[in-house]
Structure 1
Amino acid sequence: MGIFKIEGGIPLKGEITPQGAKNEALQILCAVLLTPEKVIINNIPDIIDINKLITLLGNLGVKIQKTGAGSYTFQADEVNVQYLETEAFKKEGGSLRGSIMIVGPLLARFGRGYIPKPGGDKIGRRRLDTHFEGFINLGAKFRYNREDHFYGVEATDGLTGADMLLDEASVTGTANIVMAAVLAKGRTTIYNAACEPYLQQLCKMLNSMGANITGVGSNLLTIEGVESLGGCEHRILPDMIEIGSWIGLAAMTRSEITIKNVSWENLGVIPNTFRKLGITLEKRGDDIYIPAHLDGYEVKTDIDGSILTIADAPWPGFTPDLLSIVLVVATQARGDVLIHQKMFESRLFFVDKLIDMGAKIMLCDPHRAVVMGHDFKSQLKATTMSSPDIRAGISLLIAALSAKGTSTIQNIEQIDRGYERIDERLRAIGAHIIRA
């Protein structure tokens, strides 16, 4: 198991370019199963979770060719659907949360899709009901083997369009249902659909393949089923979670950093949320420039003077994946912040590690924490800690880079699942970090 050794308290300086978006790539890669024609995808991040999915597609029989850094050609003209019922697939599919999104395309094109209970971050209950209720609405039959936690949906006579109101605006659930509906007979409407930029990207890609999806960007999608889809070329957006991570890193280490090519129009409320913490960031073309915050940053209270609350919400609200970053940034702010993590009940449990480093945090319950900022008058102390999940892992890494002394982070495979060559990229802007 790898570790990072980090010498903190050193200001950084330079430019950093965000990787391709992990959460978009998981959807886009599954969509290649919808056509026998070639699909070219660019800006794919080289991270553990994405590489696992690419390997899974290869084992399903998809022909894969790497054509350059982050660029691949996929052709699913000889898919081996029988692989889904092997023990090897049960083990492979169960290690990756994103594997759930192969079910929709397989069901649409081949009439059946199976998946073991997916893995991923241990951040609380992550229900799959929205996915399978959507498939059932389209006419699929559902079965679940409780003994080995194996899910299956089948539609031997094909899928038929339907009107549905999702019980939650699940991003992966919406993506899965959309990919199933594009080849269904007739019209499908999905209300309370997720409308994140990555879901919009999936819909735009499918339309370029010949699908007929309208309402993209809203919470009401209308899909007219088509008989088949063709090939296309698609470029993945920069990762908004990584962009938010670099904003937090710059503030905590009081560094002057430029984040390149961020796709400002797809960042939503992320820039303004960091501004509420008192962080200065400037739009320079399609880049974000963050000056060194030598005098710190002051939290803005609500209009009535009450404590600032930052909470997650479905898009266009603030993404839950960045709440861990906001929490660690707040530890050195001038003022107090209430962090309200609504979606996952275990995501705030990493705060004990920050408290060990000297942060002033009161965990109110599994969903809420009050952070009392130090205003850099009391620097965080180096320590040894373990990364519990991707987002907590990057938050602890940011804390270590700002702390006085040398910290050790264990279980860094969790960080590598979501961040590409992070130690190399941080060293390029002056960080003292070693992978051991």
Structure 2
Amino acid sequence: MGTFQIEGGHQLKGEIKPQGAKNETLQILCAVLLTPEKVVINNIPDIRDVNKLIEILGNLGVKIQKLGNGSYSFKSDELNLDYLESELFKEEGSSLRGSIMIVGPLLGRFGKGYIPRPGGDKIGRRRLDTHFEGFIKLGAKFRYNKEERFYGVEAPDGLQGTYMLLEEASVTGTANILMAAVLANGKTTIYNAACEPYLQQLCKMLVSMGAKIEGIGSNLLHIDGVDSLKGCEHTVLPDMVEIGSWIGLAAMTKSDITIKNVSWDNLGLIPATFKKLGITVERRNDDLYIPAHENGYEVASFIDGSIMNISDAPWPGFTPDLLSIILVVATQARGSVLIHQKMFESRLFFVDKLIDMGAKIILCDPHRATVIGHDFQSKLKATTMTSPDIRAGISLLIAALSAKGTSTIHNIEQIDRGYENIDERLKNIGAKITRVA
């Protein structure tokens, strides 16, 4: 189990470039299974979850070639579908939640797809029903081996387009159903579809491969199935969650930081939400600049004077992946804020570690926490912590970088799952952080 040692209390300064988007990359990598032709993907982040999925694709028989830093080619012309029912796949697939998205493309192209119950962050119950209900509506037969915790869908006669209203606007569920539907017979309509920028990117990639999709960017998608798809080249967006993480880091450490090439038009409510905490977020062409907040930052109130409430919601609402960052940043604000994590019931449980550092937080229930800011009058204290998941891990790292003294964070493999070479990148802007094997 790896460890970070962080000497906190230092101001940072400089430029940092966001990595490619983790959540988009996991979708895009699965889409290479839809065609036997070569697909080139650029701006792939070098992180644990992505590398694990690339390894799974290689074991499935995808021909993979690294073309340069972050650029790979994939060719899925000679796949070994027997691997899907092997013990090796049951072990590898269960360690990565993103592996669920190989089922849709395999079902659409080959009429069958299998997956062990996938892993991922322990942040609460994360249902797979949306995925499989969509496949069933397209005509697939579902089976589940309870003993081996193994899912399967089969459609030997092909899939048939249909209308479906999703029970939840699941991003991975929409992506999975979409990748199956592009090769189905006839027209498929998906209502209450997720419409995050990463899902829009997947749609645009599929269209460049020959898919027929209308309604991109909305929650109503129309897909006319085609017989086959061709190869393409695709570039992954910068990671909006990492961009939000660096905004929070700059505010908490009173640092002057420029985040380069952020793709402003795809950030949605992220800049506006940080502004609710009093943080200055300035657009400079396609860069995002945060000045040093020497005098701190003050939480806004609602028009009627009531306490600010920041919550997550499906796109175009505020992403749940950044609520942990917002919570940490609020610990040093002037004023109070209620954080409402609606989507996952275990994601706020890391606040006990912040309370140990001296933060004033009341955990109201599994979904809500009230934060009373210190206004930097009382610094957080260094401590020893263990990272429970990716987003809590980066939040604890930000807290440690702002705290007085030297903190230790164990289980940093969780952070490495979502943030590329984070210690070296932070050192480049002045952070005092050491990776201990």
TM-score (norm 1): 1.00
Matched-pair identity in %: 81
Q: Which residue of 2 aligns with 1:129?
A: 129
Once the two structures are TM-superposed, the CA of residue 108 in structure 1 deviates from its matched residue by 0.4
Correspondence 1:331 to 2:331: yes
| Letter of the structure 2 residue corresponding to residue 325 of structure 1 | I
Alignment partners' CA distance in 2, 1:134 and 1:215: 18
Q: Which residue of 1 aligns with 2:218?
A: 218
| Letter of the structure 1 residue corresponding to residue 164 of structure 2 | M
Matches within 5 A, 1:350-429: 350-429=350-429
Once the two structures are TM-superposed, the CA of residue 281 in structure 1 deviates from its matched residue by 1.1
| Letter of the structure 1 residue corresponding to residue 206 of structure 2 | L
Once the two structures are TM-superposed, the CA of residue 67 in structure 1 deviates from its matched residue by 0.4
Task: Give the secondary-structure state (helix, strand or coil) at the position aligned to 1:127.
Answer: coil
Alignment partners' CA distance in 1, 2:86 and 2:410: 34
Task: Give the secondary-structure state (helix, strand or coil) at the position aligned to 2:205.
Answer: helix
Once the two structures are TM-superposed, the CA of residue 132 in structure 1 deviates from its matched residue by 0.1
Once the two structures are TM-superposed, the CA of residue 399 in structure 1 deviates from its matched residue by 0.1
**Partner deviation per Cα, 1:215-270 (whole Å, 9 max, x = no partner):** 00000000000000000000000000000000000000000000000000000000
| Letter of the structure 2 residue corresponding to residue 112 of structure 1 | K
Q: Which residue of 2 aligns with 1:253?
A: 253
**Partner deviation per Cα, 1:23-53 (whole Å, 9 max, x = no partner):** 0000000000000000000000000000000
RMSD over equivalenced CA pairs, Å: 0.2
Correspondence 1:157 to 2:157: yes
Alignment partners' CA distance in 2, 1:25 and 1:126: 20
Q: Which residue of 1 aligns with 2:8?
A: 8
**Partner deviation per Cα, 1:45-85 (whole Å, 9 max, x = no partner):** 00000000000000000000000000000000001111101
Alignment partners' CA distance in 2, 1:334 and 1:273: 16
Task: Give the secondary-structure state (helix, strand or coil) at the position aligned to 2:238.
Answer: coil
Matches within 5 A, 1:28-427: 28-427=28-427
Alignment partners' CA distance in 2, 1:54 and 1:330: 37
- Alignment gaps of 5+ in structure 1: none
The count of residues paired between Structure 1 and Structure 2 equals 436
Task: Give the secondary-structure state (helix, strand or coil) at the position aligned to 1:205.
Answer: helix
Stretches (4+) displaced over 4 A: none
Once the two structures are TM-superposed, the CA of residue 182 in structure 1 deviates from its matched residue by 0.1
**Partner deviation per Cα, 1:121-168 (whole Å, 9 max, x = no partner):** 000000000000000000000000110100000000000000000000
- Alignment gaps of 5+ in structure 2: none
TM-score (norm 2): 1.00
